[in-house]
Amino acid sequence: MTKKKTQSSKTPSEPAADGTEVPVETRVEETPFEAVASICSVLVVGLYILTFLGQNFVIPSGSMEDTLLVGDHLVVDRITLAPPSKWMPLVHYREPRRGDIVVFLKPAADPDPVDGSPTYPFLVKRLVGVPGDRIHLRDGVVILNGVAQNPPKGSKMGPTAFSEFLDEYPSTPPSTDIGATEAWSVDFPNHVSNGDLVVPPGHFFMMGDNRHNSLDSRYWGFVPRENIIGRPLFNYWSFITPEDHEYERPGIGNSLAWMGHVALHFFTETRWARTLHLIR
């Protein structure tokens, strides 16, 4: 009777120097489907992080100099200052505090540079007043609840020319003639008491560190709690940008020209000392 040969299922092996057999590793090739699935997984995780946990933000103007410079690219924490959520009970939440640098949606609309439609841009300022605070400026110094405040470390006061509206606020009410919004000009007197501006419940008062070159709450009013997006964590890249709002110029031509400039001068005009610089 002839015995049938059976196929061995053992792992291929090769003899070692001492005569014993050592298994030979077999390489498993990744299928196209598995490769696509891996890429999709990375994209989903990245989209989740950018949507719910962190956000990229670029500084377009000099209103926060020298704390933040035009061309600073920031990673923004969208969790800590977010309203508490029941589906993430272990995450640390807290209310915005005085002195925080925050990213928020501007409460007053700007006209779109292309079609003029109302837009609500992201802004970054320092939180000066919380609900119930009484605020005024005297000789450019912020007086908070009757106590003079030291300027933020690294802040810049801008031009030295005295401006009554900027340096003796709110003794001079905001008006559209100096760039204030019409709605704030009308609502402003309702929040002034004994020479102080009183922050209402659920709102915050924001100012730029470069106070003489900052369109902030003095011009368009308080920021509602729901408008606050998060707080900047660190500066992951900073590029010398000579003009304010360079990153906001409309048109594909301007975008391509700026991208070409960055590509040509990436190494020479990157502010390497500000890389991974913590924001305070």
Paired with 75 in beta bridges are 56, 234
| Res 29 pLDDT > 50 | yes
pLDDT-derived band at 49, boundaries 50, 70, 90: very low
Which tokens is 126 given?
């320092």
pLDDT value at residue 25: 59
**pLDDT of 45 higher than 60:** no
Nearest to 143 by CA among 131, 135, 153: 135
The predicted pLDDT at position 160 comes to 61
As a whole number of angstroms, the distance between CA 78 and CA 185 comes to: 31
pLDDT in tens, 87-100: 566 667 899 999 99
Banded model confidence at residue 159, pLDDT cuts 50, 70, 90: low
How does the average pLDDT of the chain come out, rounded? Answer: 83
Q: What pLDDT does 244 receive?
A: 74
What pLDDT shows up at residue 243?
Answer: 75
| The predicted structure's pLDDT at residue 280 | 85
- Give the least confident one: 5-9, 34-38, 51-55, 192-196: 5-9
3-state secondary structure of 3: coil
32: its two tokens: 């196209």
Q: What is the pLDDT of residue 46?
A: 47
pLDDT for the residue numbered 11: 53
pLDDT, tens digit, 9 for 90 and up, residues 257-267 = 888 989 999 99
pTM over 0.85: no
pLDDT score at 245: 74
**Tell me, what's the pLDDT at 76?**
93
Name residues whose C-beta falls within 8 Å of residue 244's C-beta, 6 or more positions apart in sequence.
60, 61, 62, 70
Task: Read off the pLDDT of residues 174-195 as tens digits, 9 standing for 90 and up.
Answer: 999 999 999 999 999 999 999 9
Asked if residues 72 and 274 have their Cβ atoms less than 8 Å apart, the reply is yes
* pLDDT > 70 in the chain, percent: 76
Ranges 78-82, 120-124, 198-202, most confident: 198-202
Contacts of 106 (CB under 8 A, 6+ apart): 120, 121, 122, 123, 220, 227
Tell me what the mean pLDDT of segment 22-41 comes to. 63
pLDDT bin (cut points 50, 70, 90) of residue 173 is: very high
Which CATH number among 3.40.640.10, 3.60.20.40, 2.10.109.10, 3.30.1490.190 corresponds to the domain 66-278? 2.10.109.10
Domain ranges for the chain = 66-278
Which tokens sit at 228?
Answer: 């606050």
**Locate tokens 């001079």: which residue?**
172
Over range 32-58, report the average pLDDT. 59
Q: Which run of H or of E encompasses 38?
A: helix 32-48
